[in-house]
């Protein structure tokens, strides 16, 4: 029993030093992991901000197209297409058949 107490008394300081070193290395590794995660998060945040800015710019362009009579032009084009369809229906000749009859 006395030998066991002596063994514990001699090995305890070494085990304490090893424990302190191990805890210190684990702490450094954890700090590096946290720093790397923060860096990756900031990079992703920057990418999201750039993507959001790009989407906002596209929305501004679309709003400008709609408000600068672009929407009216599209409506007028569709109205002309509809008028041509009605005109062709009144003639009784479907589109594209005139060229076939001449051949």
The answer to whether residue 12 scores a pLDDT higher than 80 is yes
Q: Which helix (H) or strand (E) holds 89?
A: helix 71-91
Distance CA 61, CA 53 (A): 12
Report the share of the chain in percent with pLDDT over 70.
Answer: 81
Structural domain range at position 50: 33-91
Q: Is there a domain that residue 55 lies in?
A: yes
Q: Quote the tokens at residue 47.
A: 């990418």
Q: Is there a domain that residue 85 lies in?
A: yes
Contact between residue 94 and residue 88 where contact means Cβ atoms under 8 Å apart: yes
pLDDT tens track for 53-101 = 999 998 888 887 777 765 677 777 788 888 777 766 666 555 554 544 4
Total domain count for the chain?
1
Give the per-residue pLDDT at 84.
Answer: 77
Contact between residue 33 and residue 27 where contact means Cβ atoms under 8 Å apart: no
pLDDT tens track for 23-32 = 999 999 999 9
Q: CA 92, 95, 97, 102: dihedral to nearest 10 degrees? A: 100
């Amino acid at each position: 029993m006395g030998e066991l107490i002596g063994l514990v008394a001699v090995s305890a300081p070494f085990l304490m030093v090893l424990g302190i070193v191990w805890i210190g290395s684990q702490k450094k590794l954890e700090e590096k992991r946290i720093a790397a995660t923060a860096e990756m998060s900031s990079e992703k945040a920057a990418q999201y901000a750039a993507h959001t800015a790009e989407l906002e710019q596209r929305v501004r362009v679309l709003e400008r197209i709609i408000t600068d009579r672009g929407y009216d032009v599209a409506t007028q084009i569709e109205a002309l297409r509809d008028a041509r369809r009605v005109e062709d229906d009144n003639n009784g000749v479907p589109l594209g058949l005139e060229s076939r009859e001449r051949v």
